[in-house]
Amino acid sequence: MFGLYRSLFNEEHDLFRESVRAFIAKEISPFNAEWEKQKMVSRDAWLKLGENGFLGIQAPENLGGMNIKDFRYNAILIEELGLSGCSGPAIGFPLHSDIVMPYILHYATEEAKMKYVPKMVTGEYIGAIAMTEPGAGSDLQGMRTTAIDAGDHYLVNGSKTFITNGWLSDVVVVAVKTDPGKGAKGISLLVLDKDMPGFTKGIPFEKVGLHAQDTCELFFEDVIVPKENLLGKVGEGFKYLMTELAQERLVVSLAAVALGEYMLQATIDYVKERKAFGKSISDFQNTRFKLAEMTAALEQGRIYCDYLVLLHNDGKLDPAMASAAKYNMTELQCKVADECVQLHGGYGYMWEYGVARAYADARVQRIYAGTNEIMKELIARKILK
């Protein structure tokens, strides 16, 4: 962002970035304020993303994707959404492509892949993942949603909460207990869709931030789920979650740095124009030092994440590394948000300013995808084993 050379991208990546940036400027940024009022992104935006090939690029060609396995392309899309300052889309779109879809691509039956993936690539189907429950929070083993084996299908009962893309979701990867007495070994993953009787949604939550992103509860009452909608093997769900959560936490880390960079640039622009005591705010030593501190921290964070993207491309990103990134980058994002609001003064508390919205949006980053307290526990387990 500030001239630090990044060695992980080539000319093809740069061309892809230009196309993504142009798309966001035309189809995302102008509509974000309206989406914030509606509490969700429009379905039309999802379809346009699909038309332009920005959803599920890693999906095989026979399922409608481009079979691009280079995660640097995914990272570019995440970065550019973050740099736009549109926090809701910066979370909802990558969750669909980089968090939900991998479960289906990696573990679903061929029948389920053919049914769901092509429409997820076009944006006709919107994906969500349902792990968190009202009484369990980050404790996945404490979940109570059950899936009873009923012969040729499962019978699902329970509820999930704080589900990103929940209200608009057409396809949901749901963590369930297939054997409640076995703890982690009793967890399985199922794919549910909006047309299954007994699957209902709560009213979207009135959140502190991320207003342009729908979040709600999901309810399951005797939902009949075909056996072909099981992901992988029975009882292996916790293992799949631990495997795929590394990418999820990398996605959150990349978004955190980019959103931090957005706030910093907005603040740099503001302090150059704002006058106080007869001179620009940018002339005060405190302002200059704060900007220098944030710039140094974000540049370090960016290079750190660049390295993790390369490790992930090589299949060497482990859950503890991803947890460390998620912890560090979301803490940094929140620190930058606070400093940038302070440098804006009273205007930083006005919703019309992007920094105010970014400040409200940042706080949840330390909570979802596993709280930062859980991240520290996962890091500690690796270093103490």
Q: What CA–CA distance (Å, rounded) separates 173 from 7?
A: 36
DSSP 325-360: HHHHHHHHHHHHHHHHHHHHGGGGGSTTSHHHHHHH
Alpha carbon distances (Å) from 327 to 21, 42, 262: 27, 31, 19
**What amino acid is encoded at 91 in this protein?**
I
Tell me the two tokens of residue 168. Answer: 């608009």
> What secondary structure, in 3-state letters, does 316-330 show?
CCCHHHHHHHHHHHH
The catalytic residue among 217, 236, 248, 261 is: 248
Main-chain phi, psi angles of 75, to 5 degrees: -60, -40
- The H-assigned helical ranges of the chain are 11-27, 32-38, 43-51, 71-83, 87-94, 101-107, 110-122, 237-273, 285-313, 319-344, 354-362, 372-384
Alpha carbon distances (Å) from 143 to 139, 173, 182, 192: 7, 15, 12, 17
Block residue for tokens 């061929």? 110
Q: Is 327 exposed, middle or buried (0-12, 13-18, 19+ CB in 10 A)?
A: buried
217 is annotated as an active-site residue? no
Tell me the two tokens of residue 115. Answer: 């049914």
Q: What CA–CA distance (Å, rounded) separates 71 from 96?
A: 15
135: how many CB neighbours lie within 10 A of its CB?
A: 11
Q: What CA–CA distance (Å, rounded) separates 343 from 325?
A: 27
Catalytic residues: 248
